[in-house]
Amino acid sequence: MRKRGLILVCVLTALFLAGCAAGEVSQEDIDTVLQRYEDVIQGDPLAQKVIEGLQENTIMEQLAAIEEQLAAIAEQQAKIAEQAASITAQQATISQQAAYIVTTDAELTAMRSQMENIAGIRMEILRRMQASIGQSLGDASKVSIGDNGNLVLSDGLLFETGKYSINSEGESMLNSLATALGTFLDDPENRQYVDSIVISGHADSTGNAQDNRTLSSSRANAVLGYLLESGGYGLQRYSSCFCAAGYGDTRPVASNDTEEGRAQNRRIEISIVLKDDSIMDIVNNYLELDLPAAAQAEVQG
């Protein structure tokens, strides 16, 4: 009887373990098997020890499985916490960048306004000069503002053909120009923006290129000399602001194939060059803005 009971218990144990390995044995199955063979193992201490060992092993396996699941849950929770922290950091960065964009937009608007103000001052100066000269000559069409923003004087109003001595009509024009320039430079607010006032001479393509360069240079210097010495306004005190240059036929504004085009190319231009410092001050003010840490990392990276 004892031998048979032990054999049955061993067989049940083997089947039970096989079932555990396959994941097909539940606690209910265990209880059913134990109830069915209770009579067999009663009175058999060896069989009872086997059953007790079986139950103990089952409990240990279940505890091990629970511990494994708890470890997996803890790992997942750690990952979730890490992702939550990353999301929080990203949200903080986004908020910081959004604030930076708002600030930058405001600064760019201010800088654009300053640039437009300087450009407006320059254009207003040229318009005043144009009006003053036109009033002096009684014909505003004789002086214009070019596409490049320079004041344009026809050389036919200043010089005889092939000459660089200023004629009487030209003297009247330059007297008005000297007054306009002097009035402008007398204002410290205007003068702070001016780097130089360039008198440039230009020619058409007729004749020798070297001769054209020489003539255009001589005419530019003649205009400059008259403005500083004979213009009647005392521009000599601002002589450091002025310079002259001759470009010959290298910078045409119209075709040299027609007489009308050649007439446009023979000209004196007055250009007001703004100080780089004036522009750079505006740019530097913008560059002094504090970048967000993320933006600094991108720039430095």
CATH, residue 241: 3.30.1330.60
Q: How many domains does the chain have?
A: 2
Taking alpha carbons only, the member of 301, 278, 300, 236 closest to residue 111 is 278
Residue 95 lies in a domain: no
Under 8 Å CB-to-CB from 277, ≥6 apart: which residues?
A: none
Under 8 Å CB-to-CB from 30, ≥6 apart: which residues?
A: 16, 55, 58
Residue 210 lies in a domain: yes
Q: Quote the pLDDT of residue 268.
A: 94
Residues 64 and 128 in one domain: no
Low-confidence ranges of the chain (pLDDT < 70): 1-55, 111, 114-116, 118-119, 121-122, 132-134, 136-141, 276-301
Measure Cα distances from 147 to 56, 64, 190, 222, 253 in Å.
99, 87, 22, 25, 9
pTM here is 0.55
Final residue before a domain boundary, out of 25, 51, 78: 78
Distance CA 183, CA 195 (A): 17
Residue 40 lies in a domain: yes
Long-range contacts at 97-101 (CB < 8 A, ≥ 24 apart)? 97/292, 97/294, 97/295, 99/292, 100/291, 100/292, 100/295
Residues 204 and 267 in one domain: yes
Residue 100 lies in a domain: no
Residue 236 lies in a domain: yes
Residues 269 and 164 in one domain: yes
Residues 58 and 120 in one domain: no
> Which tens digit of pLDDT belongs to each residue from 162-205?
899 999 888 888 888 888 888 888 888 778 878 899 999 999 99
Residue 59 lies in a domain: yes
Residues 46 and 194 in one domain: no
Q: Quote the pLDDT of residue 296.
A: 46
Residues 165 and 54 in one domain: no
Residues 145 and 221 in one domain: yes
Residues 57 and 147 in one domain: no
Backbone phi and psi for residue 150, each to the nearest 5 degrees, phi listed first: -100, 150
Residue 289 lies in a domain: no
Q: Quote the pLDDT of residue 295.
A: 45
Extract the tokens encoding 34: 């134990």
Distance CA 186, CA 131 (A): 19
Residues 73 and 156 in one domain: no
Mode of pairing for the β-strands spanning 151-154 and 143-145: antiparallel
Distance CA 263, CA 247 (A): 16
Residues 48 and 181 in one domain: no
Residues 162 and 278 in one domain: yes
Residues 71 and 120 in one domain: no
Q: Quote the pLDDT of residue 278.
A: 54
| Residue 40 structural domain | 2-78
Residue 176 lies in a domain: yes
